[in-house]
Chain A
Amino acid sequence: MAARELMYREALREAIDEEMARDPTVFIIGEGIAERGGSYKVTEGLLAKYGPKRVRDTPIAEAGMIGVGVGAAIAGARPIVEILYVDFAMLGMDMIVNQAAKFRLMTGGDGRVPFVLRTQGGAGGGVAAQHSQSLEALFYHIPGLKVVMPSVPADAKGLLKHALRQQDPVMFLEHKHLYMTKGLVPDGEHVVPFGVADIKRAGSDVTIIAWSNMVSRAMDAAEAMAAEGIECEVLDPRTLVPLDRAAILASVAKTHRVVIVQEAVRRGGVASDIASIIQEEAFYDLDAPVQIVAGLNIPIPFNLALEKASVPQTDDVIAAVRRVLHSNAMA
């Protein structure tokens, strides 16, 4: 099938455009998304195409706009709420956790909440503690929410399209440093289901599980190790909830060694939960403890050098791969 190279943000726009054309109940609200086409240019051109009823700017009122989105979803629409920084989604946590996540179950399955909250997180631009967090663990922990973290344009498009067709609240977590990255996106209808991991690079010696911006670190580490004859398998879960456990366990059964890379702070992160699943269900397949490479347990510093030191870099992943291969007998 033919494919074109698109930027991550262009792939997202295509997804929104196609789904808005296909389904009149899809609409999008957020700060600066209409007139300005979005701070990350994801919604450029959509106001002109779909009009102000379906592409709306909001005031700076995250709790309000998230509440509006959840309510609209309950009432039968398919809203996308764009929150500029995942850090600000905290203002709407009651709506997300106590309302959106619970509504279907509390109504005995009668009520559905097809609400998509699109936001971005991540460090690297010197925008400091309140604008650089990776908070997927908070949403991962709440039953009733789906957590989606695409790493490449094709996945971004396919997963967002699926999000806008399914029935449950989705935390669609983009990364600020992925918006301008490029990748091939298949032509035509390209929908990626939830709960299906993607092997970004096949290998037989070590499994590196990574998502969002850490996938590129994992790929760089894999390339460096390949020069030494070590073939790393890079597994991108794409959706953390639902998690493709079967793919993870199959990869572990094949390689016997696992490194999990997460940009988020180590403590209470998703990597720890994945590691616990692996040790419980694949204990006898492991030749070494599961290695986790994660952010330091600190807020992201403003200073650029300190910021870089506070999240995983490629060398950190390489060091973990060596540890899990017992290449460093002192470890």
Chain B
Amino acid sequence: MAEAILVPQVGQDLTEAKIVAINVKLGDKVAKGDIVAEVESEKATFEVEAFCAGIVISLPFAVGDVAPVLEPLMHLGAAGETVGGTLAPVALDPVAAPAPVAATPQPPAPDLPAGRQRSSPLARRIAAQGGLDIVRLTGSGPRGAVVLRDVTAALQGSILAAFRPAPGVVSLQNGRGIPVVFLHGFGGELAAWRPLVMRIGVPNPMVGVDLAGHGAAPAASIASFAALVDDTAARLAAAGLSHVHLVGHSLGAAVATALADRTDMQVRSLTLIAPAGLAPGMNGGFIAGFLGARSEAALGIWMQSLVHQPSSLPAAMVRATFAARQGTDAAARQTAIAAALFEGDTQLFSIRAALLRVSCPARVIVGREDAILPAAHGLPPQIALHRLPGVGHLPQTEAAGLVARLVTETIHSTGGTPAAA
């Protein structure tokens, strides 16, 4: 390995030394202790001693040159060896520097308006993440500074006042901060999110939405996936829910991705559970069987395809789904939507392009034993993929604890959870 012989430090504060003698040439064999060169400063002449043996493999200076102090004067090594392109600097302080503390990722402070408003860094950060213009706030801190409690109060007011429940847009949990909106999958309804919502440990408000043709959603004619997305966006805007976190399952996850792609929505994070629209294929037989079942027993058998372990399908879910069809046109509505979205074993929509444009934190959670949709692959690299073993098409039921934790982490990663006052 090449060893550098350095130009010696020839005196305090001196940065250069003149080479007055070089006693070797390229290819010469040097023994430890040989005087290989002499350098001179204004004060004295120094002999440069080889501290190891070797063959001179690099000698960039000539007699009369001025060389920088503590830089390599020559290199010794094995015959034929070359000195690497970029040399690692010789460690002058052999003690390794202590590992730097990983800096807490700090979001940049928003530009403060010109003017005399004072505010704490934390207040500015929380206001920015909440989409709140801090200039509009009055501060209760020292000399009128806007501090955290002013911002949290404003956020609380602005979010809760803005959310207007509507048919098929229902609050699942009160809270503070940016709402988390849950979009169910084909054939589902918002109530099924409740067991998951109970396990999610964030203080944000949580809202469930029934997609068109499902649950209590207002009647709408949906001729395509795009129409479904438009309908959902309009209903969210009407409810004051344009600035949200989105959690979606299956078809709902596809809708969520498409919503994140829209300029009239500000989506802070995406959690996509068993998302549809990643690949063309799907289990068309399941849709047909699910829609066509006329008894609860038959429905139950088809719904078993949704999970990997039969015991993980709650009986209550089958009962509720069956009960929702009795005396209503639920099945007809869903069949109409299915015709717009699916054809045989094909999904008539894709979210691959929209996924590439996702700029907020996003993760995909799928079960490895999903019998409804093919395995997820080819996701853009910034989107995390969680593949759960022994889980089917309902990770939020089959692995509720883990899914709740991942939803929590996704929301936290945006810094969007208001700090405890």
Beta-carbon contact of B95 and A285 below 8 Å: no
B85 at interface, CB cutoff 8 A: no
A253 at interface, CB cutoff 8 A: yes
Beta-carbon contact of B148 and A105 below 8 Å: no
List of A residues within 8 angstroms of B123 by Cβ? 287
Beta-carbon contact of A246 and B147 below 8 Å: no
Name which of B22-30, B104-112, B164-172 contacts chain A: B104-112
How far is B123's CA from A261's CA once the two chains are assembled, in angstroms?
25
Beta-carbon contact of A105 and B147 below 8 Å: no
List of A residues within 8 angstroms of B98 by Cβ? 242
Contact of A331 among B107, B109, B125, B142 (CB under 8 A): B142
Of all chain A residues, the one with the shortest Cβ separation from B123 is A287
A188 at interface, CB cutoff 8 A: no
A91 at interface, CB cutoff 8 A: no
Interface string of A289-331 (1 = CB under 8 A from B): 0000000000000000000000000000000000000101111
How far is B95's CA from A108's CA once the two chains are assembled, in angstroms?
8
Beta-carbon contact of A249 and B94 below 8 Å: no
Q: How far is the CB of A146 from chain B (nearest CB, A)?
A: 12
Of all chain A residues, the one with the shortest Cβ separation from B128 is A284
B315 at interface, CB cutoff 8 A: no
A51 at interface, CB cutoff 8 A: no
A109 at interface, CB cutoff 8 A: yes
Indicate the member of B95, B109, B120 with the most A CB atoms within 10 Å: B120
Residues A60-92 near B (CB distance < 8 A): none
Using known A-B contacts A105-B93, A204-B420, A256-B122, determine if residue A287 contacts B148 with beta carbons closer than 8 Å: yes
Of all chain B residues, the one with the shortest Cβ separation from A323 is B142
List of A residues within 8 angstroms of B420 by Cβ? 204
B141 at interface, CB cutoff 8 A: yes
Beta-carbon contact of B121 and A326 below 8 Å: no
Of all chain A residues, the one with the shortest Cβ separation from B119 is A287
A56 at interface, CB cutoff 8 A: no
Contact of B122 among A108, A242, A245, A285 (CB under 8 A): A285
How far is B145's CA from A1's CA once the two chains are assembled, in angstroms?
49
Contact of A109 among B94, B106, B145, B147 (CB under 8 A): B94
Beta-carbon contact of A286 and B104 below 8 Å: no
Beta-carbon contact of A256 and B419 below 8 Å: yes
Q: Give 13 CB contacts A-B under 8 Å.
A: A242-B98, A256-B419, A281-B103, A281-B104, A282-B106, A283-B106, A283-B121, A284-B106, A284-B121, A284-B122, A284-B125, A287-B122, A329-B141
Residues of B with Cβ closer than 8 Å to A? Answer: 93-95, 98, 101, 103-104, 106-107, 109, 120-125, 140-142, 145, 147-149, 419-420
